[in-house]
Structure 1
Amino acid sequence: MAFRNRKAPTTDEFVVVSQGEKGGKYDPSIPAEAYATGFMEFTDTAPTIYHANHYLSKALEEHGFEYLDEREDWTDRLTKGNKFYTTRGTTTVLAFTKGKHWQPSHGAGIVGTHIDSLTCVVKPISIKEPIDDFELIGVAPYAGALSDLWWDRDLGIGGRMIVREGRGITEKLVRIPHPIARIASLAPHFGKFAQGPFNPETQKVPFIGLAKDGKLPEPTEDEKKSPVVGQHSLRLLRALSRESGVPVRDILSVELHLFDTQPAALGGIDKEFIFAPRVDNKACTYSGVYGFIEAADTVVESDSLSVVVAYDNEEIGSRSRTGAQGNILEAAVDRIFAAEDCCPDDAKKAVFWANSFFLSADVTHATNPNFSDVYMTNHKPKLNKGITVTFAPGGNMITNANTSAFVQEIARRTDNTIQYFQVRNDSPTGGTIGPYLASKTGIRGVDLGIAQLSMHSIRATIGSEDIWLGVKFFKSFFNTWREVDLEFQLGSL
């Protein structure tokens, strides 16, 4: 089944299709393949965080969500609708669905992910002198990028440009569609020189072309009107101009990333796998957002408030206005309170957060068959089995006995499978956005996510059913968390 160039299907849509094609027998492979294809389209067509934000914003709009500008007052708008979204910095997106019978004391069911991935960021002044006729470009690693796993990959370039448009200044997305850069390894025949370690500033510099006779082109008088001429390769700026339709003279600033251009693919004998770039954390973001979208119509008729937020900058600590240590979620809650004629004082907000539940959704480690002994027995997440709940007694995760039981009950009622993971005592553990939100607000929650192989590699592996299972789980959470919470009634849960 091919679902490229169309919006992602809904679970109900594919139950109907599979029943029709299989004579009334439900075939789970059909929705799994459809969602796998939808995810692959997402990661292929939205390789930078700016494109991913735009992709998700358009998906929300197509499903009836109304855009709210952070610079404007939302109060009147919120009293006339139920489905909204906002963005911050073209990198973070937040959406919410407000039930007709919701009250602030009911809290909210919230899924938080991060939308940023490991990448190489083009430096503010990236132009470099040619070396042996190679035109080079200066880049800096974002998080764990520019490791040895980035050798010899076909790298594309894209991002956002600040441009003059008429009398105003606006932002424009741009992406060169073919590989433009490469970081060449040194052949092993050179012996010790090819063994490393390698200097990331001087020995991992991408080349983007050949300078004819070692000389770079000169700008025209018209092109010199742009402040970025002389800061970046003129050939690169001209390529960006061709792709965007913006004259070089009108380009005021650029923020560009390098990324793996090899398309995502289904793999394995029976297509059990997805091999893809940027799985961390586009997999949980895609699943979380589409689970949220599919639950929206049910939530609108309920007494619940659903929120999904895809943050930036998790890979570098979340400490930014667009990261989880920023306040986009808390500010949105304050505005929702104000629209309910409910002054968002500290006491009322404390009640709201105490009655809310948060899923910190980030990928976790699937069991690598070549290194099975580095995992704890009974803590070996498998592909195509379902969401994995993660624990870390050192404080890197927010999961505890009460909150994991809460999620397990949701899974039991909705036919979802839960796996569990914790690292060995002799292994380090990563972090997530969960502790930041919990420490700021007092919200209850768990850390969980889709299991993947090769985390922080330029290319990773998940199960081809895992996106479908993620959407199914997140949809179930938004539809049932409130009724489960009312039954638990544990107070300090």
Structure 2
Amino acid sequence: MEHTDFNNDLIEFLDGSPTPWHAVNTMKSRLDAAGFQQLDERDNWSLEQGQGYYVIRNGSSIIAFRSGKKSPVEAGIRMVGAHTDSPCLKVKPNPEIRRKGFFQLGVEVYGGVLLNPWFDRDLSLAGRVTVLDEEGQVKDTLVNFKKPVAIIPSLAIHLDREANSNRTVNAQTDLPPVMMQVPETDTTSFADLLKQQVASECGLTAEKVLGYELGFYDAQGASLVGLREEFLASARLDNLLSCYIGLQSLLKASGDEPALLVCNDHEEVGSMSAEGAQGPFLGNVLERWCGDDKARVIARSMMISADNAHGIHPNYMDRHDENHGPILNQGPVIKINHNQRYATNSRSAALYRHISDELGLPHQSVVVRSDMGCGSTIGPLTAGTLGVTTLDIGVPQFAMHSIRELIGTQDGFTLYRVLKAFMERPDVA
């Protein structure tokens, strides 16, 4: 895969993955096409050497692995981790709001959303819907309206003269998107609209909507940006970019060594769920793969937690340590925090630098300012749960947690090349 092909395919992946459920479904399709076999957690497993497998939990988290030609007890497992969720606005269970003939939906803020960029954007809606079908069966289905169906209009500056200096966003009152205008006598429910969408998109007649997990997203697709197209702008780069890089690395690796990709949901809200990184999902899969030898396998293994990093912003350079300001298009960023907000240690960082240097590829390091707080990733959670040596790394980006984020077009491809080499490497511990 070449640099241009990588970015074009990344754009297709991002546009096809507006929610964690869609992202997992997209990865499932690509794994199926590559000959991977789906495993069901309810069944007995009979794993063969040299085969690819994947497991899905809740439809929003996925673990894919190649069993390799060597026993994981002897070779260890090369693991890459990422997360499928992104900050967004999720629809409430009883969302209908009618004011002056405008039909709006109440929303709940999911994760640490940068709220101001959500105003005046063309918004669409997607997620998972659970229905009762004509035969009385409970079924899950994915929906994606795709076209712009809502907007959150800004208040005009004439009505808020301090908008450019002192405007705040109230998550309860300022964010309900406007979906349509309706007469005063209208009794349309959101469930009615969902049944229509399920019928038209999925060909499924729903007698009743039993539940849903739906989020608004930016209807504008990913695109190359810049006079020389040095940048790629998109929603959900944090962290679908890492999901894509990890998937491509697993698919393109030789398959000789045992290798695994885990993409967890719920990282943006703490990872404490059945399918989150603080939950048992990865441990359960490793126990079924490795049996009583799991502890020995972990001792020979390594995890690379891939989650984007803050690139140094030319308008806000004072927000970075002067010796640790990652530059877009100058390589992936090794993330270091001695208070264990990142799981990187000198050993795991050294292995990454060594592989990257062997390939002649750039890399950077970041430490946050000592007077500022530090975010975290699934890295420390996975390291603490499994006891596996872990590295935190990420592609540098701008506008993290905005509705539209920005990366350099070189860095994702660079990280892919290193992770592919990592998955092919005979010694990682």
Q: Report the TM-score, using the length of structure 1 for normalisation.
A: 0.83
Residue equivalent to 1:263:
221
Residue equivalent to 1:18:
none
For 1:24-64, what per-residue CA distance to the aligned partner results, in whole angstroms no more than 9, with x for missing partners? xxxxxxx2121111111111121111111100011111111
Do residues 466 (structure 1) and 411 (structure 2) align? yes
Distance 1:175 1:193 in 2: 37
- Cα deviation, residue 250, structure 1: 4.5
Distance 1:151 1:252, change over 3 A: same
- Cα deviation, residue 368, structure 1: 0.8
Distance 2:177 2:328 in 1: 34
Q: In the comparison of the two structures, how many residue pairs are matched?
A: 426
Residue of structure 2 aligned with 1:446, choices 367, 391, 409: 391
Do residues 208 (structure 1) and 153 (structure 2) align? no
1:65 partner amino acid: F
- Cα deviation, residue 416, structure 1: 2.7
1:473 partner amino acid: V
Q: Do 2:114 and 2:403's aligned partners in 1 also have CA atoms closer than 8 Å? A: no
Residue equivalent to 2:63:
94
Q: Do 2:23 and 2:84's aligned partners in 1 also have CA atoms closer than 8 Å? A: yes
Do residues 245 (structure 1) and 203 (structure 2) align? yes
Q: How does 1:37-56 map to 2 (within 5 A)?
A: 37-56=8-27
For 1:161-194, what per-residue CA distance to the aligned partner results, in whole angstroms no more than 9, with x for missing partners? 1234445332111111211111111011113585
Q: Do 2:238 and 2:307's aligned partners in 1 also have CA atoms closer than 8 Å? A: yes
- Cα deviation, residue 98, structure 1: 1.3
Distance 1:54 1:459 in 2: 22
Q: How does 1:247-396 map to 2 (within 5 A)?
A: 247-295=205-253, 298-299=254-255, 302=256, 304-338=257-291, 344=292, 348-396=293-341
Distance 2:114 2:364 in 1: 32
2:34 partner amino acid: H
Distance 1:95 1:59, change over 3 A: same
**Identity among equivalent pairs (%):** 32
| Worse-superposed segment, 423-432 or 195-204 | 195-204
Matched position secondary structure for 1:475: helix
Q: Do 1:387 and 1:473's aligned partners in 2 also have CA atoms closer than 8 Å? A: no
Judging by fraction of residues, say which structure has more strand.
2
Distance 1:193 1:72 in 2: 61
Residue of structure 2 aligned with 1:109, choices 75, 78, 99: 78
Distance 1:385 1:146 in 2: 26
Distance 2:181 2:373 in 1: 43
Q: How does 1:472-487 map to 2 (within 5 A)?
A: 472-480=417-425, 482-483=426-427, 485=429
- Cα deviation, residue 470, structure 1: 2.3
Residue equivalent to 2:344:
399
Q: Do 1:146 and 1:200's aligned partners in 2 also have CA atoms closer than 8 Å? A: no
Distance 2:114 2:127 in 1: 18
- Cα deviation, residue 392, structure 1: 0.9
Unpaired runs of 5+ residues, structure 1, are: 1-10, 12-30, 219-229, 339-343, 486-493
For 1:310-350, what per-residue CA distance to the aligned partner results, in whole angstroms no more than 9, with x for missing partners? 00000001000110011111111111124xxxxx2xxx332
Q: CA RMSD in A?
A: 1.8
Unpaired runs of 5+ residues, structure 2, are: none
Judging by fraction of residues, say which structure has more helix.
1
Larger Rg: 1
Residue of structure 1 aligned with 2:366, choices 421, 431, 435: 421
Distance 2:252 2:341 in 1: 30
Q: Do 1:39 and 1:467's aligned partners in 2 also have CA atoms closer than 8 Å? A: no
Residue of structure 2 aligned with 1:152, choices 115, 120, 129: 120
